[in-house]
Structure 1
Amino acid sequence: MDLAELLQRAQRLANDTEMETDLPRVERTLSQVLQATNELHARVTQAGTNDLQAHILLGSKGVDLPKLTQKLESLTASNSLEPLDPIEDTDVRGYLKNERENAILAVIDEANTNITTTVERQKWRSVYSEWGNMKESLLNALVGPSQQDFPDMQRQKVATELPDEPTPFSRLSYFETLYAKEITSYNESHIQGGHRTNLVATFANLAKSFDDPLVTEMWNVLYCMANETPMSRNIDPIQSRQSAPKFIQKARTYLERRYKIYMNAVTEKNLVLAKRGGIPSLYNLVCSYVGVEFQHSHSLTGLLNVDNNGKPLWPHVYYSLRCGDQAAAVQFLKESGTCPELLKLMMLKRLGDTSTSEISSTAKLEGQLKLDYNNKLRICSDPYKKAVYAIVLACDPHDGHGELIRTIDDFLWMQLSILREQENRDYNIEQLTYGGLQSLILEKYGENYFNAREKGPLYFQVLILTGQFESAIEFLARSNIMHAVHMAIALNEICLLGTPKSVMQPLLSAEPDDPAPMKRLNLVRLVVMYAKGFEKTDTAQALQYYYLLRHFKTEDRGPNAMLTCVCDLLVENCDDNMLALIFGDEDEANSNRFTGGIFAEFQTMDYDMYSLAGMVGDELSDRSNYESAIKLYYIAGHLNKALRLVCSLLSQVVHQPSRPGSMRERLTHVIQRLDASLVERKTDVQSHVMITYTTLARLMEFFDLVHAGKTRLASEILTNNRLVPSNSTEVDECVTNLKRMGPEINKVLPDVIMEAMNIVYAEYLEQRGGGGPDSGNVVDDTQNENREAVLHHLRGRAKALTNMAASVPYRMPAAINQRLVQLEILML
């Protein structure tokens, strides 16, 4: 392409871009365009990007920037409050102006000062007042409330003189006492073999006297769900409850009965609109209630089926089902003449025909209606019609039916109405099972959704109505254990409470084979938690509660949980008063029998008070409380165990002098009681135990005589019982006798040998100092020979004692050996 052709194409292009306008045409060269661009760039850069953006923003909003700039430049700061310039004395106008402005400034300054002072004064007055109120409240809290604060309260006067035998106050409240009386009456009826009442019904009637509607309602819900004939204890309550549809029907019946009461209340408040009349029936009640609910014509908007009288069809059907009257719902459908398939299905379900042909026709009809529901009714604008179909077909559990569900009762009834049993589920459509509803309430929603802290009774009722008795009672026990423990007891007595296999489980647990989300409640732990609060002051009532645990087996302690609980009670409070209360007093005619104890009324063929005493004695012995264990073994008749412990204790204190209140003095009374029992039951004790006990009893007499200074009688006790040798030939015989006795004799043997040596040495000094050449008495040769024979005999006894100390299979203390040798040397 040459330059001429290029020029022609450029001119043609320029002609095409020319526009007819009045503005003059500007022709610039490339250098001029470059210069203009540089100048524009310099102005933009100098003004700044922020100013440029501000101008663009204000210009886009219609602000005239040049005029705005002029107005801003014309504004000046007011100098009215600035310091005044000095003026000349002859300037009258300026002087008056200054005085006027000074007066204004003075007024403003004075007002500002007054306001500041007033605010400061009020602030400190408020602070001092608040401090004073706080100090007054603190002082009142320290000194206690005055009688004027509680004018209706009478102060209780405390007696200054206490009775000779004060009894502890009962820890049971008024309501707890009422519960305890019912438990006592129930146990007495069982022990006597009479007819046992239903504790759930008994406690439900008792709750009416509590004057607490929430407690009464909780018991009514439990009674409605647990009004059953007691089952066998061999049947698992959890498995039977999950497989029995009667619990679902009971929950629906309870909710329908409550809604029926609500409908009556609404119609009675609006009798004019309800237009009640005719024979009292649910059919007429539903008509009246719907008339009140749809009193305005605009309320019918969205309802598809309305009869000739202007009454909506599907609300009548829905509320008939809501209050549990399927007959009324069928009648409304018959009168309308619509939906014959649904009417037929409802009549078949109402009749409940179980023949094979009817079941197959029902299933076929139900499947057809489900297809119609999925294709058409899911988008239906009538919420009542959609709800009726969902209830009859038991489908579409995810539809919340928000237009109809207003309360928790409505929600729960709707969910219970669309339940299907696990084995009868239709896998072509999503359906809700009993376990799924329980998981929905307990796990998905939980306590936070139901605001259980503030609305505990409501959450408790929801759990009960969904068959989760154990979780409901555990939740209630956190805030009110009194009602919770009696609900658990009542359910357990009719075999409806799921309990764990081990009593050592936590309060709420789950077994591996249990269906989710079912839990098991540890009734033993719950009853013990409750009874521990009053078992010391109201022991008889505590034993009534423990008697209810006789069917629970323990792994390692006792045959059942009842004996274990009573055993723990006695171990912690094993004084004479408690033992007399539980076991009674010893029979004067028969020392081996106790009468009058409260435990005697609970004994059966499996256990009695004597087996309980032996069990407590073993526990006390394991805890090294031997004195109390001896008392329990004596009551139980376990003389062999009692003598073993007596021997162990005697070996520690038999050589000590007797002091008032000491263990040695207490053991003296124990030995007297045991000696009286051994007269009749000596054969129940092992031979070596009997020998050890007899020897220690004789040694106690020996040391009593020694401490009383009667050494001759004490020496006779040792000689008669062949405990220490009289000469060297008897050493082996005495050592052999020691081997037949228990180790307790070896513990006290050093003190016995030492006292025997002291007796011998005292006799030696007496014989040696009895006469001599300087005594002034004439002593013949015969007397001297007799005295020498006695001294020789005493030296032989001392030698035999030293030899025995070296021969016994027991390491004698070094101090004892040293003293024995020293005394023997002094007698040479």
Structure 2
Amino acid sequence: MHYRRIKQIKIIITIKVADSDCCAFLCALLVVAFNMLMLEQLKVYAVPNLAVDYIIAGRWKVTKFLGNGLFGSVYDVIDMQSENEEHYAAKVEYTESLPTLEGEGHILKEMKNKDHICKLITSGNDGRINYMILTLTGKNLLQVQEEIPNYMFRKTDVFKIAVQCFEAIRELHEEQYVHCDIKPENFAVERNGTFDKLYLLDFGIARKLSPKDAKHNLRYGYKEDVMACFCMIMSMYRGLLYANRYQIENEFKELSNGKRNMKSSKNNYPKEFLEVYNYLDGLLQTDMPDYMKRMELLELLSRADRLSSSVNCVSPKPGSFDTIRQVTELGEKLWRRTTAASTTDEQDDSSTVELPTVDIKAGLLGDDARSRHSTRRTRQFVDPFQKSVDEARGNIVMQAVQASCDEVTENWGSQHVMKKRNAWTKMKKQHYYVLVPGSESKPTVQSTDGPRPVSGRCWTAMNETQTAFGKVVIDYVDTLLDGETGFRFRNNCLEAVKQLDNQYALTMWENVQLLADMILSACKKGENGFVDRTSSEYKLKFGRLMLDYLQKQFVEFMRGVVKERLHQAQMGAVPGAPGLVTAFLNVLMPTPYPGYENVLINQQPVWAIIYYCLRAGHVQAAKSVAEEAGPSLTAVVRAFDRLDSVTAEPMDFNDDDDILLEYEKASNSTGDPYKRAVYCWLTLNDWMDTVPVFDRIEDWLWIKLRQTVLTQRRLSMVKNSKSKYRINMLPLDALQEVVLFEHGEKYFLRHRSPLVYWTALWFSGQFEAAIEFMCRQGELLRSCAVHVALALYADGLLACDDQNDDIQGPLLDVNRGCSPLCRLNLVRLVVSYTSQFENQSPSVALKYFYLLRRFHDHAHNSMFAVCFEKLLRQQADRNHLLGCINETGSLKPGCIDSFKFERHQTIAYVAKTAHARGQWQLALQCYELIDDVDKALQLLTNMLFSVVARQEREDGLRTTVLTLANKMHDRLASSKAKCNNVAIFQKILLIGNYFTIYFNGEFNQAFQLLRRIDLIPMNVSEKDFYVSSSFNLPDKIRLLLPELLLSYMNMLIEDCKLFHCESSKRGFSGANSKDDLKAMAEALISFASLIRLRLPGGFLGLLVHKKAAMI
């Protein structure tokens, strides 16, 4: 009852319901809340608890729970759309809880290029939860420390962790963010568990510092982050799990003030730690620390500790020095060991020298027996004088070693730091540059064209590959704009690739060139300029072309093998395919393989010779070998007889059952792999995946394409393709599904070469999937893949949807069961590629966008116009791209003017889009550029109407609009615009100029300008005329009448005040007396009451009240 009489304070506190570790925190908070009389106002939010195998957004499958955050949970998920089942981290929260993920996602987007901050993959909403997908890291530092014996890190690891932590905080601070929650739980190691790279986590309470914050005494800034990190490192150095930061700071303050000695300190800190603390303690919260200097110091400490560990890696053995010679030998050996240790970070345990500490005697460098003897003798004869001599000898050696170690460490450390600095400077100059807003020194890069982007955005220069391909695209587009034909885009791209000296890219482009030439020579284009890849004719011709190419390549391969081993090949002078095949087999298999069947010809199995003749495309040679083998191969000879002499395909499938019967008989008995391979070539059987001969990607593709050709031929000739024997139909669409789905990227990448999977996709006719795959194989191959797509599109070979492709759509649209199987989103491919350099080289990006002119979005807008508008929004100087109209009325051309046929449509789209967004100046500029004067006048009139009667504000919009309107008045009024639009514009502009003079208090000029406006009566006789003419006024001008009436009444009042002055000067209104002024005011009030206009409430009363003030 007592508490009910106290006034309640309505504050909502949000707490977390998590695991049992938070119970103590929860109970304490409830007690405090009860004492604060807020128990009924507590709002409890639960964190998501997702089950294993739960699927987020239809893509991310939960595999393991990782932990809880403040308002959400973290899970290990796999990407079900990835062939490799890649693992990621998913942070989830309920939608009704506090939206912390939204702010953290915004920070991660700004940190996307940082080395020590996780990359944001995607984020969104899935029902009741918000989610965010990040790259997966290893354990956090607290978890790692808990697994270490005695919680004690190695000193080398502490120094390494310190360097990585400060580097991570530096990357965050460079973007003006402070973390506000630095602790071991928010630093994670790599997934392999090493300390080579640490990641900074959890930006839920991070905040951004603004320049205004420097003027205030902040509680949390840059200093607080680095000081918290320093204390965290000290706790790891001391082996404390949960360190007291106040205790660590107090200890270092005593060390800094001299109240405690560094050597007498029980923690035995290195003196460099005190230097770091003194530097950090002297900073303000908004001061940016010098990270580079401190990290170099910690890295040098790490190197020194690692060097000492390599020299002193085992415990010293007690012993004594018997002679001065032994002391000398030990000193020389120690010098050699420490000198060698300076050139490497790790030493073999067997080559280390055992050094004693200050209080223990140095052991002898001899065999174990002598060492044990010396040890026994030392234990038996303990002479105080000898002991002092041994200690002196040990001190001499230790001083020499310490001096050498200091010298080596200092020299090596300075050289290492200098080398790293030079390498970093060289890399920045040769590769890419990133401008950070507000940096003192910016690298100078020669701009390829145009202005730099808006200040505050990052830009990158074009690399060597992009520049080479960009020149080809520029020449190609210029040729198209000039109306010329015959530019060989693919050939020029191939020449550009040859200059890059990359074998992967060169091999890919050579195959592209060859395949495109073969298809274009064999297939005709349709009326739309594209080859119909869905027709049966195309599929049959494609299979034949690929077979012919693979067979010719294999002939060259055999010749190369034989040429290298002429003595072993024993080819002889007999020309023809059988001789080449026999010589090749002499090299490949000097002795016949076990399990061969039938006879030997030239000491080689007949089935192997027949197979390699077929593999080389020499069917007649294979037939002659089968005939030479005798009656055992009669069925095979008959099968060869029914083949067409040109295409090597069956002329009639009606008698196909004979060879299928032979296949059925041999399937259960033969063990000869080459016999199985020959039957795979002859018939549509199901042996292909069980024949070990097809172990190379080229052989596998060759036999698959042979089966595809037989299938397409059979489907085109036989209406009913059924047979009483087993047949395995493999049309081209089925082969493509086998490569893309049944095997897939994971299967082919076992060879660890992207060319293997690319070859399987390319030679199975899946150009789009091959391009998409190469886009994920590094920047060089990505650039090549983009231009392969452009080349195929120019040749009419690319499957894409020019009516539905857009920037936001998926890059590859896969429709299983359709033909073609995949369609490539060329728009997204080109836009994502040009986004790397469009800010620095906008004119080059425009050339790429021109190639998308035939594509349209869902609103039927040209993608060239859409991409141009997107690029224009990112530029600071739009005139470089758009052009402008000078004050003299002449056109200053921009980059868009070189695209003559697309110029008008593109600028019209930009004007419409800018008008809808409220960018009236850009829209006005565009309307002028396309000579749409009526829309320009209407837009400028609307802007004038919205600001003409109001006083100037902080945004300066009124001055901007009036200045621009006065500047464009003569140009717009003299154009071919509608007379009505010109008249309204001129009248409102005149009213705007009147109010400008009126607001400045220049009533004499304002009164004269009001007479020119000619909208309100200046005396009683004009009242009726203006009342009748007000009915015909446009709405925009009629709506401005109340402001004009009020301003006129205020000027009459000011003029009335002049009659009270002793000056004999006449007022600006022309009235001779106060009575004249009152009459003019009465005419004004009468006019306001007679016009058909809904005046503001109380407006007439206001005018009457102002007239009454004219005394």
TM over 0.5, shorter chain: yes
> Could you tell me which residue of structure 1 aligns to residue 854 of structure 2?
551
Counterpart pick for 2:599 among 296, 306, 321: 306
SS of alignment partner, residue 396 of structure 1: coil
1:594 aligns with 2:897: no
Contact 2:769/2:812 (<8 A) preserved: yes
> Could you tell me which residue of structure 2 aligns to residue 214 of structure 1?
504
> Could you tell me which residue of structure 2 aligns to residue 415 of structure 1?
704
* Paired residues for 1:79-90 under 5 Å: none
> Could you tell me which residue of structure 1 aligns to residue 793 of structure 2?
492
Q: Identify if the C-alpha distance between structure 1 residues 161 and 372 changes in structure 2 by more than 3 Å, giving closer, same or farther.
A: closer
* Paired residues for 1:713-792 under 5 Å: 713-728=1005-1020, 730-731=1022-1023, 733-735=1025-1027, 737-767=1029-1059, 769=1061, 790-792=1073-1075
Task: Give the superposition deviation at 1:427.
Answer: 1.7
1:131 aligns with 2:158: yes
Q: Give CA deviations for 1:531-567 in whole Å, capped at 9, x if unaligned.
A: 2333222111111111111222344253x22222223
1:397 aligns with 2:686: yes
Q: Return the structure number with greater relative CO, CA threshold 8 A, min gap 6.
A: 1
> Could you tell me which residue of structure 1 aligns to residue 678 of structure 2?
388
Contact 2:548/2:617 (<8 A) preserved: yes
The unaligned stretches of length 5 or more in structure 2 are 1-148, 169-290, 297-416, 430-439, 454-458
Q: Amino acid of the residue matched to residue 546 of structure 2? A: A
1:175 aligns with 2:465: yes
> Could you tell me which residue of structure 1 aligns to residue 60 of structure 2?
none
Q: Give CA deviations for 1:475-508 in whole Å, capped at 9, x if unaligned.
A: 3334454232212111111111111242245333
* Paired residues for 1:115-264 under 5 Å: 127-135=154-162, 138=165, 143=292, 146-149=417-420, 154-155=425-426, 167=452, 171-227=461-517, 228-229=519-520, 231-232=525-526, 234=528, 237-240=532-535, 243-264=538-559
> Could you tell me which residue of structure 2 aligns to residue 536 of structure 1?
839
Q: Identify if the C-alpha distance between structure 1 residues 520 and 161 changes in structure 2 by more than 3 Å, giving closer, same or farther.
A: closer
> Could you tell me which residue of structure 2 aligns to residue 78 of structure 1?
none
1:294 aligns with 2:589: yes
Q: Give CA deviations for 1:572-594 in whole Å, capped at 9, x if unaligned.
A: 2475x22x2224353687x2x52
Q: Amino acid of the residue matched to residue 245 of structure 1? A: L
SS of alignment partner, residue 418 of structure 2: coil
User: Which moved further from structure 2: 441-450 or 156-165?
Assistant: 156-165
Q: Give CA deviations for 1:73-105 in whole Å, capped at 9, x if unaligned.
A: xxxxxxxxxxxxxxxxxxxxxxxxxxxxxxxxx
Q: Give CA deviations for 1:347-405 in whole Å, capped at 9, x if unaligned.
A: 55352499xxx987x54554322222222355322221221122023x21344243312
Q: Identify if the C-alpha distance between structure 1 residues 737 and 564 changes in structure 2 by more than 3 Å, giving closer, same or farther.
A: farther
SS of alignment partner, residue 549 of structure 1: coil
> Could you tell me which residue of structure 1 aligns to residue 982 of structure 2?
690
Contact 2:1045/2:1084 (<8 A) preserved: yes
SS of alignment partner, residue 534 of structure 2: helix
Q: Amino acid of the residue matched to residue 823 of structure 1? A: K
1:643 aligns with 2:914: no
Q: Amino acid of the residue matched to residue 294 of structure 1? A: M
> Could you tell me which residue of structure 1 aligns to residue 658 of structure 2?
368
How many angstroms apart in 2 are the aligned matches of 1:788 and 1:416?
104
> Could you tell me which residue of structure 2 aligns to residue 706 of structure 1?
998
Task: Give the superposition deviation at 1:250.
Answer: 2.6
> Could you tell me which residue of structure 2 aligns to residue 793 of structure 1?
1076
> Could you tell me which residue of structure 1 aligns to residue 909 of structure 2?
615
How many angstroms apart in 2 are the aligned matches of 1:813 and 1:660?
26
Q: Identify if the C-alpha distance between structure 1 residues 206 and 762 changes in structure 2 by more than 3 Å, giving closer, same or farther.
A: same
> Could you tell me which residue of structure 1 aligns to residue 75 of structure 2?
none
Q: Identify if the C-alpha distance between structure 1 residues 690 and 373 changes in structure 2 by more than 3 Å, giving closer, same or farther.
A: same
Contact 1:241/1:467 (<8 A) preserved: no
> Could you tell me which residue of structure 2 aligns to residue 274 of structure 1?
569
How many angstroms apart in 2 are the aligned matches of 1:787 and 1:151?
83
TM-score, with normalisation over the residues of structure 1?
0.73
* Paired residues for 1:299-698 under 5 Å: 299-307=592-600, 309-338=602-631, 339-346=633-640, 348-352=642-646, 362-363=652-653, 365-393=655-683, 395-419=684-708, 420-421=711-712, 422-424=715-717, 426-428=721-723, 429-430=726-727, 431-451=729-749, 454-480=752-778, 481-500=782-801, 501-504=803-806, 506-509=810-813, 515=818, 518-558=821-861, 560-570=862-872, 572-573=873-874, 577-578=877-878, 580-586=879-885, 591=889, 594-604=891-901, 607=902, 609-656=903-950, 662-681=956-975, 683-687=976-980, 689-698=981-990
Q: Identify if the C-alpha distance between structure 1 residues 309 and 275 changes in structure 2 by more than 3 Å, giving closer, same or farther.
A: closer
Q: Which has the larger radius of gyration?
A: 1
Contact 1:725/1:800 (<8 A) preserved: yes
SS of alignment partner, residue 379 of structure 1: coil
Q: Identify if the C-alpha distance between structure 1 residues 185 and 508 changes in structure 2 by more than 3 Å, giving closer, same or farther.
A: same
Contact 1:200/1:226 (<8 A) preserved: no
SS of alignment partner, residue 760 of structure 1: helix
Q: Amino acid of the residue matched to residue 945 of structure 2? A: S
TM-score, with normalisation over the residues of structure 2?
0.56
The unaligned stretches of length 5 or more in structure 1 are 1-121, 778-782
Task: Give the superposition deviation at 1:622.
Answer: 1.0
How many angstroms apart in 2 are the aligned matches of 1:486 and 1:540?
18
SS of alignment partner, residue 515 of structure 1: coil
How many angstroms apart in 2 are the aligned matches of 1:290 and 1:437?
30
> Could you tell me which residue of structure 1 aligns to residue 283 of structure 2?
none
SS of alignment partner, residue 445 of structure 1: helix
> Could you tell me which residue of structure 2 aligns to residue 117 of structure 1?
none
Task: Give the superposition deviation at 1:738.
Answer: 4.7
1:285 aligns with 2:580: yes
> Could you tell me which residue of structure 1 aligns to residue 104 of structure 2?
none
Q: How many matched pairs?
A: 678
Q: Amino acid of the residue matched to residue 462 of structure 1? A: A
Q: Give CA deviations for 1:95-138 in whole Å, capped at 9, x if unaligned.
A: xxxxxxxxxxxxxxxxxxxxxxxxxxx99998344434444555
Q: Amino acid of the residue matched to residue 909 of structure 2? A: M
* Paired residues for 1:6-45 under 5 Å: none
Contact 1:221/1:254 (<8 A) preserved: no
RMSD of equivalent CA atoms: 3.8
Higher strand share: 2
Q: Amino acid of the residue matched to residue 275 of structure 1? A: Q
Task: Give the superposition deviation at 1:291.
Answer: 0.8
Q: Identify if the C-alpha distance between structure 1 residues 152 and 289 changes in structure 2 by more than 3 Å, giving closer, same or farther.
A: farther
Q: Identify if the C-alpha distance between structure 1 residues 232 and 680 changes in structure 2 by more than 3 Å, giving closer, same or farther.
A: farther
How many angstroms apart in 1 are the aligned matches of 2:154 and 2:599?
70
> Could you tell me which residue of structure 2 aligns to residue 99 of structure 1?
none
Q: Identify if the C-alpha distance between structure 1 residues 694 and 455 changes in structure 2 by more than 3 Å, giving closer, same or farther.
A: same
Task: Give the superposition deviation at 1:756.
Answer: 1.0
Q: Identify if the C-alpha distance between structure 1 residues 655 and 546 changes in structure 2 by more than 3 Å, giving closer, same or farther.
A: same
Q: Amino acid of the residue matched to residue 911 of structure 2? A: G
How many angstroms apart in 2 are the aligned matches of 1:310 and 1:695?
106
Q: Give CA deviations for 1:615-657 in whole Å, capped at 9, x if unaligned.
A: 2111111112222211221222222212222222222332456
Task: Give the superposition deviation at 1:318.
Answer: 0.7
> Could you tell me which residue of structure 2 aligns to residue 823 of structure 1?
1106
Task: Give the superposition deviation at 1:747.
Answer: 4.9
> Could you tell me which residue of structure 1 aligns to residue 366 of structure 2?
none
SS of alignment partner, residue 244 of structure 1: helix
